[in-house]
Amino acid sequence: MTDDVLLTPGPTPVPPDVREVLGRPIIHHRTGQYRAIFKRTLEGLQQVIRTRHPVVCLTSSGTGAMEAAVVNLLSPGDEAIVVLGGKFAERWQHLCRAYGITVATVPVEYGQAADPRQVAGALTAHPNAKAVFGTLCETSTGVVHDIQGIAAVTRESQALLVIDAISGLGADACDTDAWGVDVLVTGSQKALMLPPGLGFLSLNDRAWARVDAVTTPRFYYDLRLYRKALAGDDTPFTPAVSLVLALEASLARILTTGVGPVVQRTAALAAATRAGMGALGLSLFAARPSNGVTAVTVPPGVDGKQLTNTMYDRARVMVAGGQGSMAGKIFRFAHMGAIGKEEVLAGFAALEEALGALGHPVTPGAGGKAVRAALGAVQPAEVQ
Amino acid sequence: MTDDVLLTPGPTPVPPDVREVLGRPIIHHRTGQYRAIFKRTLEGLQQVIRTRHPVVCLTSSGTGAMEAAVVNLLSPGDEAIVVLGGKFAERWQHLCRAYGITVATVPVEYGQAADPRQVAGALTAHPNAKAVFGTLCETSTGVVHDIQGIAAVTRESQALLVIDAISGLGADACDTDAWGVDVLVTGSQKALMLPPGLGFLSLNDRAWARVDAVTTPRFYYDLRLYRKALAGDDTPFTPAVSLVLALEASLARILTTGVGPVVQRTAALAAATRAGMGALGLSLFAARPSNGVTAVTVPPGVDGKQLTNTMYDRARVMVAGGQGSMAGKIFRFAHMGAIGKEEVLAGFAALEEALGALGHPVTPGAGGKAVRAALGAVQPAEVQ
């Protein structure tokens, strides 16, 4: 057992009832018992994704599911638009380039959200673009992009809209079918409260039609094999059985509360976290902050790496630092999935202590007080 | 909890101490704590694989690791030789063809082992072949191929030898470096006693040089990214943290006993299982039987599917049926990893009962008696 408080934007804490399932004896996947569970979990994921279309389950990290989208939706030489703005948006670009896709980018400054009009402009400039790749929550900057707005402009074109919702789904609102998102990609280790190791995609009919037409070589990620296997509630290759069984337990938690209330609860924790940061005089990095993770600018004179290390060394609270050029300049404090009010308050206590230790004193308890005040109107049960 | 006895060749039973680790709170992978564990597990895998070369850990099923071998070792248009003989050998063929590799096959009848001279002949006929793909234990037929012999003839050519040891490693002897196997592929859910979800590859220097030269597009499985990350005991993409932590526990079990003794123990269980089948008058399907799984021909007049179903329905013992054209004609009884004498005896009791129920009576207890006799000379501790 560890006493660590994990406030990282993936992996996020795995609740005890989900961990109990992970520790059970393994079952075989070519059985009616497993197939019934697998079917139910995919139906549960449809509810979380808000889609009526089939969900594909991959044994991979989230990046594997992103790769599956690229290799099944585009052929070499096709043109695609990537909406930038962070390390994970850049992964779409790297993936596309690795597979010979011509990429037009919509530049977005780190910390800013893409303006749908920029995307509309890119679509006008690149009328042959076959896909627009975007990100719901850009985990590296804490920005939630306006996917509804981006979907509205993309719907005016022939391009498919493919969204990385790995850290966004279940934390930020995402009305996949209603908004017109064609392909949604997600992973297990964020708001789904599981260890990493499962990737998921949902594809609508337009997207599936493309899967049948593209020529990019593929095998492990050939979605045609998964579609065929899905007809028998099966996968073409051995699934990560223990994670799928645990998914049933984590989905039960989410669906018992309801997807909408889970997102609202996460939004309340995010608002409270932002209030707490404000009370400590800290600046938010994200212009359009996500519900799942709050990115905070490290105050001048404080070493960001030392800040996160001190939080962990003194209080066993782990937040994430910045990635790439944001390293040392921001830290990221997650409040999605199983993270609740108590963990957020523990995070603020650790943050206040670490800031003081690093020569940036703040009023002890000011952050936590603001968090509690912000959550005052919310029933405790809703933010556990 | 389930009372099922899993005698399937993957997933195999996960021991209680390994399951305990799976159920622990998750830790973050970008930490010194995780990196130290990851480094130790890869060193442990080097001992199991008997290689001094680096081991790459993928978040994927074993097929993902096979794909990683193909896309990193061959360019489109390259020629490769695939040694056939079962469903998993055929997967090499499907993978190569999916990526535009020209495949020459060494045909091997199901249930038979490849003759190294056939491989030598194929190498003579295809002097430009860049790789030979083979299988240590062909899980679908229960055959262990003569990889030492195949390596000896492959060493006379320029071709790399790439071996699927997914179900073989830790059950059948595999002296990777000494034999001259260039690339070894394995997975978590067989003799490593973990749930599925991790794939592994080891590559020697010759193979790594090829990785840098090939032109097949790749990203998630781009081993150059993994090599770079390995320098920091890291992975390029989020690893399946809980499975890696559990791997440390399963490797501790293997390395405490020793890889050689684990293989010997598995060999003793395999010999005892074969003796038991003989005592029941059943014929073995594999001409060169593996230590990990015994493939048995379903006796005339018995429906193979009914036989395995009856074993499960009456005794909660699960063995695997035949795959593809072998469906209904054979069943496969595993005895690798955490499967011990008690589980094998439970398997025989279930088999005897099911055969009787299906109109093929055998002397009750004859199989188990032969198993016990065969294991008589072995210390109980060695076959637990």
Report the 10 Å Cβ neighbour count for B158: 12
Q: Which residues of A touch B25 (CB under 8 A)?
A: 1-2, 4, 6, 13-14, 19
- Asked if residue B290 and residue B342 are part of one domain, the reply reads yes
Chain B CA closest to residue A62: B238
More confident residue, B369 or A382: B369
Q: What is the mean pLDDT of residues B370-382?
A: 76
Res B377: pLDDT:
61
Last residue of a domain, one of B229, B256, B283: B256
Q: Which amino acid is at A283?
A: S
Give chain A's mean pLDDT. 96
Q: What is the mean pLDDT of residues A284-301?
A: 98
pLDDT at residue A358 is higher than 60 = yes
Report the 10 Å Cβ neighbour count for A204: 20
What's the pLDDT tens digit per position in A187-221?
A: 999 999 999 999 999 999 999 999 999 999 999 99
Chain centroid offset of residue A224 CA: 25
Q: What is the mean pLDDT of residues B211-231?
A: 98
- Asked if residue A225 and residue A96 are part of one domain, the reply reads yes
Q: Which residues of B touch A27 (CB under 8 A)?
A: 2, 4, 6, 11
Quick one: pLDDT band at residue B274, thresholds 50, 70, 90?
very high
pLDDT at residue B313 is higher than 90 = yes
CATH code for position A164: 3.40.640.10
Tokens of B169: 């490693």
- Asked if residue A181 and residue A62 are part of one domain, the reply reads yes
Chain A CA closest to residue B67: A220
Q: What is the mean pLDDT of residues A88-98?
A: 98
Q: Which residues of A touch B31 (CB under 8 A)?
A: 318
- Asked if residue B68 and residue B48 are part of one domain, the reply reads yes
- Asked if residue A120 and residue A38 are part of one domain, the reply reads yes
Give residue B154's domain range.
Answer: 16-256
Tokens of B175: 């002296």
- Asked if residue B152 and residue B287 are part of one domain, the reply reads no
Last residue of a domain, one of B256, B272, B307: B256
**Can you list the positions of beta strands (E) in chain B?**
5-6, 55-59, 79-83, 102-106, 131-135, 137-138, 143-144, 160-164, 183-187, 198-203, 293-297, 317-318, 320-321, 330-334
- Residue showing tokens 């193909």: B70
- Asked if residue B379 and residue B297 are part of one domain, the reply reads yes
Chain B CA closest to residue A29: B11
**For B25, which DSSP code?**
P
CATH code for position B287: 3.90.1150.10
Least confident of A2-16, A31-45, B185-199: A2-16
What's the pLDDT tens digit per position in B126-174?
A: 999 999 999 999 999 999 999 999 999 999 999 999 999 999 999 999 9
Domain count, chain A: 2
Q: What is the mean pLDDT of residues B225-229?
A: 98
**8 Å CB contact between B373 and B275:** yes
Distance from CA of A349 to the nearest CA of B (A): 20
What's the pLDDT tens digit per position in B64-100?
A: 999 999 999 999 999 999 999 999 999 999 999 999 9
Q: Which residues of B touch A9 (CB under 8 A)?
A: none
- Asked if residue A351 and residue A314 are part of one domain, the reply reads yes
| Rounded Cα distance, A320 and B350, in Å | 53
- Asked if residue A324 and residue A306 are part of one domain, the reply reads yes
- Asked if residue A302 and residue A271 are part of one domain, the reply reads yes
Quick one: pLDDT band at residue A134, thresholds 50, 70, 90?
very high
Res B3: pLDDT:
76
Measured CA to CA in angstroms, residue B10 lies from A83, A226, B111, B120, B166 at distances of: 42, 20, 19, 32, 9
Could you give the ipTM of this predicted complex? 0.96
Last residue of a domain, one of B203, B223, B256: B256
Res A380: pLDDT:
47
Res A3: pLDDT:
77
- Asked if residue A330 and residue A225 are part of one domain, the reply reads no
- Asked if residue A46 and residue A142 are part of one domain, the reply reads yes
Q: Which residues of B23-56 are buried (b: 16+ CB within 10 A; e: fewer)?
A: bbebbbbeeeebeebbeebbebbbebbbbebbbb
